[in-house]
Structure 1
Amino acid sequence: MNLFMHYAFDVWMQRHFPQCPFARYADDAVVHCRSQEQAQEVMHAIASRLAECGLTMHPEKSKIVYCKDRSRTQTYPNVTFTFLGFQFRPRRVLTRHGQVSTSFVPGVSPDALKRMRQTVRGWRLQRQTSKSLFELAERCNPTICGWWNYYGAFHRTAMHELSRYLDRKLVRWVQRKYKTLRRHKRCSEEWLRKMRQAYPREFAHWQYQGKQVG
């Protein structure tokens, strides 16, 4: 498929629209255009090209998106898209001068976060009461590190939701492991907070962001 798409799409794009940079992975592609008119022309041409090759454009994923930011302030129906697990959309960011601004940047997508939460749920951490906190960290860290190294490459604060979810699962583990804390969620959160302060590098997600437990 990749070799086929190289000739069916990549080479064709370079020949017919050399002024439009693009990125493609498998059958997913993003094409950069300078105007809505150009985007409509390119989209129509791509649809025709794919039809020649016996392919069709995805009816929902194929769309024209306006990359809205501090210098592009017009109103369009679509201002977000997802590519390779990242959601590209307008976000409030801090400039190098410490000012708040709007930039069109990628961050982990909601679907990717959902898949990661499902993986964490499958670990059944709250039932691993025979293990120590350090043993749990040893088991989980390789996967957490992989997630953060990939999805944390851009707009890292978007990954804080996953960190909070992991900590909530660990709080439930604390409640199940220690009978005196079983019905005391706040005390369990405090226990985990103290462990985090004492061992800030124990869990990978503790190292990557400073959000407090609870």
Structure 2
Amino acid sequence: MRTDDASGEIEVVYCKDNKRTQTYRDVDFTFLGFTFCPRRAQSRQGKLYTSFLPGVSENALKQMRMAVREWRLSRYTSMTLTELARQCNPILRGWLDYYGAFYQEALGGFCWYMDQRLSRWARRKHKRLQGRKQCRGEWLRKIKMAHSGGGGAGNLAFRPKR
């Protein structure tokens, strides 16, 4: 069921999955920053099927991107990567732990966005990376490989935990 906040009405939402295949107008709803809708899932045997699962909502993603944009990371060129990670990681980890608890694939776009912001910071910090997208991408890959899973600075360039 879904409650319309403006009018207080309650609507019934059809939970579409492999066993319920009819088509209805309303097949998703948002609650506590999660959108519940039909999503692709994989069984233990490796078969793909459709299930009604929660994932981070578009509105929550937009709010996270706006918050990161307000940080203006590219302006902190006097900070090292470790200092930058120490400042941002508590908030980023909180978001990843909360929204990544169910359908982590929905966070892929936000992870890409954070990589772009970090790449922009690197471009301004290290002049040799200016105008060279391939060099920035290689720099980011090296940082991720060097610090993956260690809790260090490279975890700012994150991917959801599997």
Task: Report the number of matched residues.
Answer: 158
RMSD: 2.2
Larger radius of gyration: 1
Aligned pairs (5 A) from 1:75-86: 75-86=23-34
Q: Which amino acid aligns with 1:190?
A: E
- Asked whether 1:134 is paired with 2:82, we answer yes
Q: Is the 8 A contact 1:200 1:207 kept in 2?
A: no
Cα separation, 1, equivalents of 2:30 and 2:88? 27
Deviation at 1:127, TM superposition (A): 1.1
- Asked whether 1:115 is paired with 2:63, we answer yes
Q: Paired residue for 1:176?
A: 124
- Asked whether 1:71 is paired with 2:23, we answer no
Cα separation, 2, equivalents of 1:205 and 1:176? 16
Cα separation, 2, equivalents of 1:135 and 1:204? 10
Q: Is the 8 A contact 1:126 1:173 kept in 2?
A: yes
| TM-score, with structure 1 as normaliser | 0.68
Aligned pairs (5 A) from 1:40-189: 58-59=6-7, 62-189=10-137
User: Which ranges of structure 1 fall in alignment gaps of 5 or more residues?
Assistant: 1-29, 32-42, 44-55
SS at match of 1:208: coil
SS at match of 1:89: strand
User: Which ranges of structure 2 fall in alignment gaps of 5 or more residues?
Assistant: none
Tell me: CA distance 1:116–1:61, structure 2 relative to 1, closer, same or farther (3 Å): farther
What percentage of aligned pairs have identical amino acids?
47
Point out 4+ residue stretches in structure 1 off by more than 6 angstroms.
Answer: none
Cα separation, 2, equivalents of 1:91 and 1:60? 28
